[in-house]
């Protein structure tokens, strides 16, 4: 996975740089609208792959347990 120009990913990347972190996952949840939004960043390709798997697991948990039906 190469550079992702998405504004949401850029925000996650900026957080990682600001705090010198290797992985960042940003979750935005609006229960009244039933929406889940997320962005993730991994400093290296292997970390990007890992954070993708972590994000998938988080999405599954939230969708199943909180009744959120829209992922954007």
Quick one: pLDDT at residue 36? 86
Sign for the pseudo-dihedral over CA of 5, 23, 62, 11: negative
Higher pLDDT, 25 or 2: 25
The pTM for the full model equals 0.78
pLDDT for 23-67, tens place per residue?
Answer: 999 999 888 888 888 899 999 999 999 999 998 888 888 877 777
* Residue 23: closest CA among 57, 50, 53: 50
Residue extents of the structural domains in the chain: 7-71
């Amino acid at each position: 996975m190469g550079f992702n120009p998405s504004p949401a990913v850029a925000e996650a990347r900026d957080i990682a740089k600001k705090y010198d972190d290797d992985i960042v996952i940003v979750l935005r949840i609006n229960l009244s609208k039933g929406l889940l939004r997320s962005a993730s960043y991994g400093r290296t390709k292997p970390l990007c792959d890992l954070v993708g798997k972590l994000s998938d697991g988080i999405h599954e948990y939230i969708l199943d347990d909180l009744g959120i039906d829209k992922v954007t």
